[in-house]
Amino acid sequence: MIKKLLPHPALTITLIVVWMLLANQLTLGGLVLGVIIGVVIPILTSPFWPDRPRVRFGPATWIYIAVVLWDIVAASFQIAVIVLFRRSKDLRSAWLVVPLDVRSPEAITMLAGTISMTPGTVSCDVSSCGRALLVHALDTPDPAAEVARIKRRYEARLKKVFA
């Protein structure tokens, strides 16, 4: 019953927040409307999201978000430096293959997205079995270390979010 009514509780919360952001004012009426929307829309769209990934809103999640946000900022500076100052022929571009432990498509996507938004790496493809990510690194002296960093810094944390 609950599952039918709230197919994606996290989504419901997100939508309520989004609605409040859109409405741009904190009124009771707006909140009621937001709740209605947050409940109704996931029900309407649930056929398009048949899987139910379990997302935990624990500290792990917040830590993960913080780490990623920080890395995005750092990444940008790093890339900026490369873009501005590094000569093209000095670039140490490399392909990385990141073997995956996470299995849910949501988690893999999250990881891939994180990789893309963080320093010097863009995830380009998934293996056809879904167990490895193809990542392009703009400038990396040690590809293996980079892979290890990705698995440690992001994948390990993600596993806790998608428990």
Partner 1 sequence: MMLDAGPIEILISAILVVGGFFALVGSWGLARMPSLMTRLHGPTKVTTLGVGSCLIASMIYFPATQGKYSAHELLITLFLFLTAPITANMIAKAHLHRQGRSIDPNPMDDIAEGLPETGLGTGWATFEGQDAERADPPR
Partner 2 sequence: MTLAWIALLPFLGALAPALAIRLGRNACALATGLVTTTALVLLLSLAPQVMAGEVVTARISWFPSLGLNLNFFLDALGLMFAGMILGIGLLVIIYARFYLAKADPMGRFFAFLLLFQGAMVGIVLSDNILLLLVFWELTSLSSFLLIGYWRHLPEGRQGARMALTVTGLGGLSLIAGLLILGQIAGSYDLSVILQSGEAIQASPMYLPALVLILGGCFTKSAQFPFHFWLPHAMAAPTPVSAYLHSATMVKAGIFLLARLWPALAGTEAWFYLVGGVGLFTMVFAAAVALFKDDLKGLLAYSTISHLGMLTFLFGLGTPAAAVAGVFHIINHATFKAALFMNAGIVDHEAGTRDLRKLGGLVTLMPIAATLAVLAAAAMAGVPPMNGFISKEMMLEEAVGAQAFGLTWLVPAVVMVGILFSAAYSFRYVVGVYFGPKRESYPSKPHDAPFGMWAPSALLVILAVAIGLAPALVAGPLVNAVAAVVTGGAAGEKHLSLWHGLNLPLAMSVAALVGGGLLLAAHRGAERVWLGLGLPDAKAMFDKVTEAAARAAQRLTEAVHNGSLQRYMFIILATALIVALAGFVSADYVEGARATLPAPGAAVVAWVLLVGGATAVVLGHRHRYLALIFISVIGLIVSLAFVFLSAPDLALTQISVEVVTILLLLLALNLMPKTTPIESSGGRRLRDGLLAAVGGIGMAGATWALLRREGPPSISEFHWANSYSGGGGTNVVNVILVDFRGFDTFGEIIVLGIAALTIFALLETAGRGASGRRLATWSPDQRRSPEHHPMMLVVATRLLLPLALVVGLYIFLRGHNEPGGGFIAGLVVSIALLMQYMASGYAWADRRLPVDHHGLIGFGVLVAALTGLAAMALGAPFLKSAYEYVSIPLIGDVGLSSALAFDIGVAFTVVGAVMLALHHLSSTAQRAEKSPASDQPMDIDPSRTVAEPPARPAGEGA
In the complex, the residues that contact partner 2 under the rule CB under 8 A are 11, 14-15, 18-19, 22-23, 27-29, 32-33, 37, 41-42, 44-45, 47-51, 94-100, 103-106, 108-109, 112-113, 126-132, 137, 143-144, 146-147
Q: Does 13 bind partner 1 (CB under 8 A)?
A: no
Residue from 4, 28, 89, 141 binding partner 1 (CB under 8 A): 89
Which amino acid, one-letter code, is at 138? Answer: L
- The residue behind tokens 């432990």 is 101
The string over 113-123, giving b where at least 16 C-beta atoms fall within 10 Å of a residue's C-beta and e elsewhere, is ebbebbbbbeb
DSSP 76: H
- Cβ atoms of 137 and 121 within 8 Å: the answer is yes
Q: Which is nearer to partner 1, 5 or 22 (CB)?
A: 22
With contacts defined by CB under 8 A, name the span among 3-11, 37-45, 53-61, 87-95 that binds partner 1. 87-95
